[in-house]
Chain A
Amino acid sequence: DAGVTQSPTHLIKTRGQQVTLRCSPKSGHDTVSWYQQALGQGPQFIFQYYEEEERQRGNFPDRFSGHQFPNYSSELNVNALLLGDSALYLCASSTNSNSPLHFGNGTRLTVT
């Protein structure tokens, strides 16, 4: 079991551009959550997807959007990138029951 996989591992974008990050959940998991981790901070919840719909959302602007596919994989899209969007983006999967989160290794996004 490969666990949660994320791609790409690193990404460099220019301010104003758009970016798409991808995540495949752990086998048997149907719920995907995304977190942003700025340098020196703990992970901050962006949103969660279940049954291809956004179920919960944190305090992030509409520039951050996502999608979940029928195979439970997920994408995180960020439009109109700002320098402050530079961070490690973590994907975590779980089952819909009371199971703990399993995290991926993250995608390091740098906005210049």
Chain B
Amino acid sequence: AQRVTQPEKLLSVFKGAPVELKCNYSYSGSPELFWYVQYSRQRLQLLLRHISRESIKGFTADLNKGETSFHLKKPFAQEEDSAMYYCALSPFNQAGTALIFGKGTTLSVSS
């Protein structure tokens, strides 16, 4: 079955500390993977997608097909990074089609 697992509901770190939000997936083919973010009182928005290999707001994520993981990392957390983060998988290798989301991880960055 196709599934996205985010094992942590809440991740609390101090400002300046490294951050790693974990995401594991289950999919038989070649998936396309995304991280979406929802800041307080804002809509869900795309943070990054693995095929673009971009670094957005200092975040990076590498697709590890051997471990079926797509962990989100940032070397130095900022308070404005506090938000809800969702990992998502597209089973049809098209960004605009059905996405399977994980349950999300709340990142809390304190000073």
Which residue of A98, A99, A101 is within 8 Å of B99 (Cβ)?
A101
Chain B residues with Cβ below 8 Å from A98 are 94-96
In the complex the two chains form, what is the Cα distance from A90 to B44 in whole Å? Answer: 9
Given A43-B44, A90-B44, are A101 and B101 also a contact pair (CB < 8 Å)?
no
Q: Which of B44, B95, B101, B102 has the most CB of A within 10 A?
A: B44
Contacts of A104 in B (CB 8 A): 43
Are the C-beta atoms of A40 and B103 separated by less than 8 Å?
A: yes
> In the docked arrangement, what's the CA distance between A79 and B105, Å?
32
Residues of B within 8 A of A71 (CB): none
Quick one: closest B residue to A3, CB to CB? B43
CB-CB under 8 A for A101 and B86, given A42-B104, A43-B44: no
Question: Whole-angstrom distance from the CB of A3 to the nearest CB of chain B?
Answer: 8
Interface residues on A, range: 20 to 34
Q: Which residues of B contact A102 (CB under 8 A)?
A: 45-46
Partner of B46, one of A42, A56, A95, A101: A101
Please report whether the interface of chain A is mostly helix, strand, loop or mixed according to DSSP: loop
User: A31-43 vs B: 1/0 string, CB under 8 Å?
Assistant: 1010100001111
Between B46, B98, B99, the greatest number of chain A beta carbons within 10 A of the residue's beta carbon is seen for B98
Interface residue A96 (Cβ < 8 Å from any Cβ of B): yes
Size of the B side of the interface (Cβ < 8 Å), in residues, is: 20
B74 at the interface (CB under 8 A from A): no
A44 interface hit (Cβ, 8 Å)? yes
Q: Interface digits, A12-38 against B, CB 8 Å rule (1 contact, 0 not)? A: 000000000000000000010101000
On chain A, the residues within 8 Å of B98 by CB distance are: 33, 45, 48, 56, 58
Q: Is the CB of A48 within 8 A of B102?
A: no
- A31, A33, A43: the one within 8 Å of B101 (CB): A43
Q: How far does the Cβ of A70 sit from chain B's closest Cβ, in whole Å?
A: 20
Residues of B participating in the A interface, judged by any CB pair closer than 8 Å: 4, 34, 43-46, 49, 86, 88, 94-104
